[in-house]
Amino acid sequence: MLWALKKCYYRVYQFVLKLATYVLDWTEPAVYRGPGSVKKLPVILKNRKIGNVLVVTDKTIVQLGLMGTLLAGLDEKGIRYHIFDAVEANPSVETIEEARRLYLEHGCGAFLAFGGGSPIDCAKVAAARISNPRKPVKKMRGILHVTHRPPTVIAVPTTAGTGSETTVAAVVKDTATHEKFAVMDPKLRPRYAILDPELTVGLPPHITAATGMDALIHAVESYIGKGNTKYTAECALKAVNITARWLVRAYEDGGDMEARGQMLIASHHAGNAFTRAYVGYIHAIAHNFGGLYNTPHGLANAIVMPYVLEYYGGKIYPRLAELADAAGVSRPGQDQTRKAEAFLAWLKELKKALGIPEHFDALEEKDIPLVVERTLREANPLYPVPVIMDKAGCEAVLRKIKG
């Protein structure tokens, strides 16, 4: 009886939240895309009269020299910059606070996030701290806790997966508890997004695979959930279609500029989809693997995905059938069940083709109760999942993932 009441409360909460989304500001970032589009950034800053920026990135980006063209352009336009390259794989509260400190110390006028999802998320939350100085990062956890609009954030993704350059969310790690949590508010959305495939050329195959699967899972989770709208559905279907056509090609040939560009577009569409329609238990479980074991987010998502989709069962088959059509893996005359099964089979084959493990061997038996607790706390009641999971269901899924 109590569980039935809880599920009823979750669905009412999700329904009210969906209604609220229709009155929120969903203004998307201005997008510049194509080879060499990063060269437009100095002009954007000059036109906006921003003469001093904090570049938020990581040490690998600096070592690879990926910012050379950008920094030369900033020098040419007389725009001062300060580089903060201490962002780790999962940005911590302490790292975000250090970025905030440097921004204020140098009197910057905007954040320029350059890298994967971690630098972009770090910049987004650091910007929120600038405009909300009395609200610590942990107090921003959850939805709609950013009171004042942050300063300008310009996002330049160097991987095609997180979609963080267009989302209202940022993921943070609490180093004290080894827990990852999300800060979600439309005010976090970057003002500009630069989708330059030249910055992703040569990305190692395993990163291409994990980030590409991350984009695909964003699209799938948003599409099968109850938070979907006409617009998010369109974005998700586009993302699935593009990923099905181009991900393996990008994985097999890191220098394929067209494949790289298409995957950036797929990631962006998927970001637009899930930032409003939300994700589900795949992400909730994956966040815990990242927090406890420092597993890259895209890789964790890819491992978890088939087990959660199988848990949902036939309830999601109508949606999976539509995704099968978008991915081009269905055949004429197939019914919904056959199409859905074809889509699930394709996902498993795609994982194999990309060298992604079937199971998550790092999951320790002693951690399962903690992962269950944190997964359900993150997902319920916020995520409008197609089937609500209880403790027993979550534990069963985790044991299948562990193998």
Domains defined along the chain, listed by start: 30-199 (3.40.50.1970), 204-402 (1.20.1090.10)
| pLDDT higher than 90, residue 122 | yes
DSSP 149: P
DSSP 92: B
- How far apart CA 399 and CA 266 sit, in angstroms, is 32
- 169 has which bridge partners? 184
- How far apart CA 215 and CA 270 sit, in angstroms, is 6
> Are the CB atoms for 182 and 171 separated by under 8 Å?
yes
- 89 pLDDT band (50/70/90 cuts)? confident
| pLDDT higher than 80, residue 1 | no
The H or E element spanning position 84 is strand 80-84
- With a CB cutoff of 8 Å and minimum separation 6, the contacts of 251 are 205, 208, 209, 212, 353, 354
The H or E element spanning position 96 is helix 93-105
Q: What is the pLDDT of residues 12-45, one digit of tens each?
A: 999 999 998 899 999 999 999 999 999 999 999 9
- Name the residue among 86, 81, 168, 160 with its Cα closest to residue 121: 168
pLDDT at 111: 98
Tell me the Cα Rg of the chain. 20
* Structure tokens, 222: 């948003």
- Tell me the percentage of the chain whose pLDDT exceeds 90: 96
- Amino acid 378 reads E
> Are the CB atoms for 168 and 35 separated by under 8 Å?
no
Residue 142: C-alpha distances to residues 162, 202, 294, 350, 377 (Å): 19, 36, 21, 33, 11
3-class DSSP state for residue 201?
coil
Average pLDDT over residues 261-270: 98
Q: What is the pLDDT of residues 365-394, one digit of tens each?
A: 999 999 999 999 999 999 999 999 999 999
- How far apart CA 157 and CA 163 sit, in angstroms, is 8
> Are the CB atoms for 180 and 290 separated by under 8 Å?
yes
- With a CB cutoff of 8 Å and minimum separation 6, the contacts of 261 are 33, 34, 35, 195, 197
- How far apart CA 340 and CA 346 sit, in angstroms, is 10
Q: How many residues does the chain have?
A: 403
pLDDT at 110: 98
> Are the CB atoms for 326 and 343 separated by under 8 Å?
no
Burial of residue 205 (number of CB atoms within 10 Å: 0-12, 13-18, 19+): middle
- Amino acid 32 reads Y
Q: What is the pLDDT of residues 127-153, one digit of tens each?
A: 999 999 999 999 999 999 999 999 999
- How far apart CA 123 and CA 108 sit, in angstroms, is 13
- How far apart CA 263 and CA 354 sit, in angstroms, is 15
Mean pLDDT, all residues of the chain: 96
- 249 pLDDT band (50/70/90 cuts)? very high
- With a CB cutoff of 8 Å and minimum separation 6, the contacts of 263 are 160, 200, 208, 212, 215, 242, 243, 246, 247, 250
DSSP 120: H
- How far apart CA 343 and CA 347 sit, in angstroms, is 6
CB atoms within 10 A of CB 381: 17
- How far apart CA 81 and CA 156 sit, in angstroms, is 15
pLDDT at 2: 85
- How far apart CA 324 and CA 318 sit, in angstroms, is 10
Q: What is the pLDDT of residues 180-219, one digit of tens each?
A: 999 999 999 999 999 999 999 978 999 999 999 999 999 9
- How far apart CA 77 and CA 138 sit, in angstroms, is 38
